[in-house]
């Protein structure tokens, strides 16, 4: 069974992608202000590789929600004034 998504799911996943900026700010704060001293090159590399994978995962999920909503024609009614019960000819006339 395919999960149903709506604009709230899409908005939530867009906000989750923005979390990457906060993650980068946290990394920068640790790089410049860590009371335990500077991080090693390996630690920095691991953090950045991990953040890159996490960001990619967030983007994949966001695109999946968007793609599902497009496939289910979630955007058509408001954007085009079309309704699913109209015929193709009627839909073409409203575009």
**Mean local confidence (pLDDT), 35-58:** 95
Q: Is 74 helix (H, G, I), strand (E, B) or coil?
A: coil
pTM, two decimals, is 0.70
Length of the chain: 95
Domain boundaries of the chain, sorted by first residue: 7-94
Q: Where are the alpha helices (DSSP H) in the chain?
A: 7-33, 41-71, 76-80, 88-94
Alpha carbon distances (Å) from 22 to 11, 31, 58, 72, 93:
17, 14, 14, 32, 47
pLDDT recorded at residue 5: 92
**Separation between Cα atoms, residue 46 and residue 54, nearest integer Å:** 12
Q: Where does the pLDDT of residue 58 fall: very low under 50, low under 70, confident under 90, or very high at 90 and above?
A: very high
pLDDT recorded at residue 49: 98
């Amino acid at each position: 069974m395919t999960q149903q998504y709506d604009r709230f799911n899409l908005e939530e996943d867009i906000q989750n992608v923005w979390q990457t900026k906060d993650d980068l700010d946290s990394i920068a704060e640790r790089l410049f202000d860590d009371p335990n001293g500077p991080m090693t090159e390996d630690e920095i590399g691991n953090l950045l590789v991990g953040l890159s994978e996490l960001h990619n995962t967030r983007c994949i999920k966001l695109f999946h929600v968007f793609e599902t909503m497009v496939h289910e024609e979630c955007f058509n009614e408001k954007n085009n004034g079309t309704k699913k019960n109209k015929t193709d000819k009627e839909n073409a006339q409203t575009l």
